[in-house]
Chain A
Amino acid sequence: MEYVMFIYNAEDRWAALSEAEEAKIMAGHMAILEQAEKDGTYRGGNRLMDVADATTVRNHAGKITVTDGPFAETKEQLGGYYVFECDNIDQVIAYASLLPHDDIGCVEIRPVFPEPLEG
């Protein structure tokens, strides 16, 4: 099964991290990558720019509105994602557990809608 792991962070907390704190979190990401590469489950991932650089586009009955910022103002913002191909959710939870968020953020695991079967 394919899963996307969304990483949410409170950007203000992230910006205020000490070098040591940031290194700890980055080490968590490295541990996830290393483990997933070893397991052969890694399918991709990216770190995103801050929501200050986000643009939201809406199309209401053909009327296009483009606005600055994320679609919703929330305390935690989407900061990046991974895609894994795993047998089950426990493996993804194990990867997610390698990330030492403390109170800075959390991850959300979502299964990818399966491709419609051919024929």
Chain B
Amino acid sequence: MADLGAVLKVARPRALAALRRFSGNLERAEDAFQDAAEKALQRWPDDGVPDNPTGWLITTGKRLLIDQARRAKFELDVDIDAAAEDSPPDTSSLDDDVLRLIFTCCHPALSDDAQVALTLKVIAGLSSEDVAQAFLVPVRTMEQRLNRARSKIRNAGIPFRIPDDSELAERLTGVLGTLYLIFNQGYSARRDALTDARVCGEAIWLARLVRRLFPGHAEAGGLLALMLLHHSRHQARVAADGTPVRLMDQDRSAWQADLVDEGRALLQTVMAQHQPGPYQTQAAIAALHCAAGDIDWPQIAALYAILEQQMPSTVVSVNRAVALTEAGRADIATTLLRAVAKAPGVADYAPYHLALSNTAQATGDLTTAKQALHTAITLTPNDTERAFLAERLAQLKD
């Protein structure tokens, strides 16, 4: 018997999108899909999985909606009697409706938190419990957040539509941003490794879906490549006792070579499309970090310089300074960090002080190196990391 959960997961976006179109209402579509999926779990073990599970779920969900509409007398967006005799749906033409559903969940009129929660719940089909666990909030809070988002979709008239060409690029960037937020939630490794890996896995699953729907959009592929390359290291990133392991100390044999290879190949494909963007640049940096042998720091520093143009931020500048120092250009790094020092929030940003310390050490300015490392320690919340930095400070003092 096939893994029914996996079959339902694959079928979900198209089936749910079709039911959303049919019912004109997201909540009714979610309920109808849920009921249809439960029926499938009862029937398929005996009857076997149908040839077209998506079609089966849509037909079953539509029947449920028609029954409900007749009983409760709510209106569907279609003629009920005609729909009741509908032939099985053509599932291959449903991708546009999946897109409409994604653009609904990632609409900019919804908060980031709401977009992330809705995307995981509606598109990826996670339970409210799982979404709550992923975001370290009580289930009740997550359910409230989801319900608030659903009522805003309804009350504010957030449409089930694909944005016009003039809006599309920006809206798609918004979708990618939401998927990246989901990925980072898992990648920041603050819970048990299993939950983290699953959240990253869901983000990758969603990114694959968006990549398939927008094959011509290089950044969609860039985001997927970035996730694959990062996620390839997830088993090596955390030690058995739960403490994070730094990149240079990781057991490379625990990296997932298949993900590295897939990420690299995908990055090459999308870079050949000549639409550069920050996800591709970050993926290229991640790919260099995954390389066998010595890390090519000059190349990484050059990529961070590009990223600074594409996506200016203090974090990017600090990373560039780190790469420059590693590449033997602490002189340029010093100038860069001096420029960054005035930016808001830098005073409390531990990686800045760490970068400053390393750069100062490289240029022989031990006073600054010690001072900055001391500041970095006071700003680091993680015990293991703090202990590691304290050890380095002790070495500096010798």
Contact = CB atoms under 8 A, between A and B. Distances in A.
Interface string B144-163: 00000000000111110101
Chain B interface: which size bin?
A: 10 to 19
Contacts of B159: 87-90
B295 interface: no
B109 interface: yes
Nearest to B103: A90
A contact patch SS: mixed
What bracket does the count of chain A residues touching chain B fall in?
Answer: 10 to 19
A111 B156 CA distance: 5
Interface string A54-75: 0000000000000000000000
Contacts of A1: 157
Contacts of B161: 88, 90
Contacts of A86: 157
Nearest to B160: A88
A87 B157 CA distance: 7
A88 B158 contact: yes
Contacts of B155: 111
A93 B156 CA distance: 11
Interface in A1-32: 1, 3
Contacts of A3: 157
Nearest to B158: A89
A109 B163 CA distance: 19
B109 A111 contact: no
Contacts of B163: 90
Contacts of B157: 1, 3, 86-89, 111
Interface in A79-117: 86-90, 93-94, 109, 111
Contacts of A94: 167
Contacts of A89: 107, 109, 156-159
Interface string B250-294: 000000000000000000000000000000000000000000000
A9 B161 CA distance: 32
12 contacts: A3-B157, A87-B157, A88-B158, A88-B159, A89-B107, A89-B109, A89-B157, A90-B161, A90-B163, A93-B109, A94-B167, A111-B155
Considering the complex of A and B, which 6 residue pairs feature the smallest CB-CB distances, nearest first? A88-B159, A88-B157, A1-B157, A89-B157, A111-B156, A89-B156
Given A90-B161, A90-B163, 12 more contacts: A86-B157, A88-B158, A89-B107, A89-B109, A89-B157, A89-B158, A89-B159, A90-B159, A94-B167, A109-B156, A111-B155, A111-B156
